[in-house]
Structure 1
Amino acid sequence: MELRAVDAGPADGDPVVLLHGFPQRASSWDRVAPLLHADGMRTIALDQRGYCASARPRGRRAYRISELIGDVIALLDTAGLADAHVVGHDWGAAVAWGLAGNHPERVRSLTAVSVPHPAAFLKAMVVSDQLLRSWYIGFFQLPLLPELILTSAGPIPARALAGMGMTREMIERYRAEMVTDGAVRGGLGWYRALPFASPRGATARVRVPTTFVWSDNDAALGRGGAELTERYVDADYRFLELSGVSHWIPDERPTELAEAIVARARDAV
């Protein structure tokens, strides 16, 4: 497989790996990356497994979290980096949590966006409304039907994404990058690999300086997991709550997010 990454900013700047979520690609960082460059940071935004046309394996096991973490390690190795600051949104945050928990020597600092620590997420499924919010994870396990709906030319996909807070511009980008480019099935593969995840590897405690950024208008991720996350970080930890913001924090609040990333990176040195 061949993955694509956008390497930008000062070549000698502190490296920041940016990991996108579903249903977006590396372009989801387009409003954040220039702000990090202005602070002297180098960004490497990875177009992850299942999204690049040259890296779309068909089997579900190919999208296990261990494989996704391995892709980030391969990225660091290819870039000649012993470690980097790691930032992830949505599914990218899940990969970032796993990387920091299992390979702390490769992570200078962690900024997780929207998705809480995996163990906190699982706990929240029992003690909060998170199970109801996560109904779509079960739906995505079905064969073919999710692809048919998410790639439909009708109004259903646009309405669903708008209900989650996406703007018209973001929905148009989704159609171009996910639907037209054929990335929907690969993105769904991440969800379909969940039954094959190693619980121990996916929920490892984190021992690197960490900031968790969450927004109170996130329809998919509730306060329960956000408040539980601190329990699973054995290092300097900060929690930033953004008020009135939907799930799409990098698009809606790039300035606040960039400031949080820079503050975490500087304090981790």
Structure 2
Amino acid sequence: MDELSISTGAGVYDATAAGPPGGRPVLLLHGFPQTGLVWRRQLAALAAHGYRAVAPNQRGYSPGARPSRPEDYRMGLLVDDAVAIAERLGWAAFDLVGHDWGGAVAWWTADAHPGRIRTLTVVSTPHPGALATALRTDEDQRSRSRYMIDWRETPATEERMLAHDARELRALYAGKVPRDSVEAYLRHLRRPGALTAALNWYRAGRPDGAIGVVGVPTLYVWSTRDSAFGPAAAQETGRWVDGPYRFETLQGVGHWVPEEAPGTLNQLLLAHLRAHGES
């Protein structure tokens, strides 16, 4: 795997890449509290099948792209980052994969730039419109999402999460993430300003506009033990896709799918890519 520095108008993004430079391009977006490292098993699988896969550390997670104001983490800017990274890599069109917050960015990017997205794969995160419906109508989803309100408090959240050898952050991984990955994430988030930047994604406020129905070929992977997203939003997501759509449910798997069930996810992802163009 290669370590990259990708310069854009918004800053410099650290990234990990794998696969032949001329391979069909795939951009993978991570969530909280992780980095592009979350995709290492997917990067290896994609590279082995001839794809060129790149997993950047997103805004705030890359030291060279870490603005201090919460409003600098608005969704529109995060979408702009994804497109700018692809443009800097010379990708006119690409396959897009996202998990957790990276999944939200992926949904919004597919809505805003459908001509550039060959396929969309989202892990865990329902379509934002489906999540909004569930938050209005489903008490289970409202309960699952209350943490997002709690985490907007600053600096109390940072202090609490890092106290006692980052006990609260460690608990988020629920023992499902490999220990070496957990330690790597914690080293990253303990650096000055890193955790505040990551939490600014929650503090940025609502998106500037509304998201529509996604028309690109879409694979959505949800797991039954996901602590953040319940079945109501997951099942509603299909109503927000009018292109080819595949919904896969992983039984007995928690929120951290790329690391909890990498083999299954890799099979689903590769099948999705093959179904919508050759590598």
For the aligned pair, the TM-score class normalised by the smaller chain equals over 0.9
The one of 220, 229, 243 equivalent to 2:228 is 220
CA deviation digits over 1:234-258, x for unaligned, max 9?
1000001111111000001111111
CA shift for structure 1 position 163: 3.5
Mean CA deviation greater in 126-135 or 168-177: 168-177
Answer yes or no: is the 8 Å Cα contact 1:20–1:88 preserved in 2: yes
Determine the structure 2 residue equivalent to 1:134: 145
Matched, 1:236 2:244: yes
Matched, 1:144 2:155: yes
CA shift for structure 1 position 160: 2.6
CA shift for structure 1 position 174: 2.4
CA deviation digits over 1:176-216, x for unaligned, max 9?
12124642111101110133x1241xx22101000000111
Matched, 1:204 2:190: no
Mean CA deviation greater in 160-169 or 68-77: 160-169
Determine the structure 2 residue equivalent to 1:66: 76
CA deviation digits over 1:18-39, x for unaligned, max 9?
0000000011111211011111
Within a 5 Å distance, the mapping from 1:100-111 to structure 2 comes to: 100-111=110-121
Q: Which runs of 5+ in 1 are unaligned?
A: none
1:159 and 1:45 map into 2 onto residues whose CA distance is: 23
Answer yes or no: is the 8 Å Cα contact 1:164–1:247 preserved in 2: no
Mean CA deviation greater in 257-266 or 232-241: 257-266
CA shift for structure 1 position 162: 4.3
| Identical counterparts, % of pairs | 40
The letter for the 2-side match of 1:136 is Y
Task: Give the root-mean-square deviation of aligned CA atoms.
Answer: 1.6
Provide the TM-score with structure 1 as the length reference. 0.94
1:169 and 1:126 map into 2 onto residues whose CA distance is: 39
Within a 5 Å distance, the mapping from 1:1-269 to structure 2 comes to: 1-128=11-138, 129-154=140-165, 156-158=167-169, 160-163=171-174, 165-180=176-191, 182-195=193-206, 197-200=207-210, 203-269=211-277
> CA 1:229–1:176 in structure 2 vs 1: closer, same or farther (change >3 Å)?
same
Runs of 4+ in 1 over 4 A off after TM superposition: none
Answer yes or no: is the 8 Å Cα contact 1:140–1:188 preserved in 2: yes
The letter for the 2-side match of 1:137 is M
Q: What SS does structure 2 have at the residue aligned with 1:130? A: helix
CA shift for structure 1 position 16: 0.5
The letter for the 2-side match of 1:110 is L
1:30 and 1:163 map into 2 onto residues whose CA distance is: 20
The letter for the 2-side match of 1:67 is L
Mean CA deviation greater in 232-241 or 139-148: 139-148
Answer yes or no: is the 8 Å Cα contact 2:215–2:241 preserved in 1: yes
Matched pairs, number: 266
CA deviation digits over 1:59-90, x for unaligned, max 9?
11110010000001111111111010000000
CA shift for structure 1 position 268: 1.6
Q: What SS does structure 1 have at the residue aligned with 2:164? A: coil
The letter for the 2-side match of 1:169 is D
CA deviation digits over 1:123-149, x for unaligned, max 9?
111222111001111011112111111
Answer yes or no: is the 8 Å Cα contact 2:223–2:257 preserved in 1: yes
2:218 and 2:262 map into 1 onto residues whose CA distance is: 18
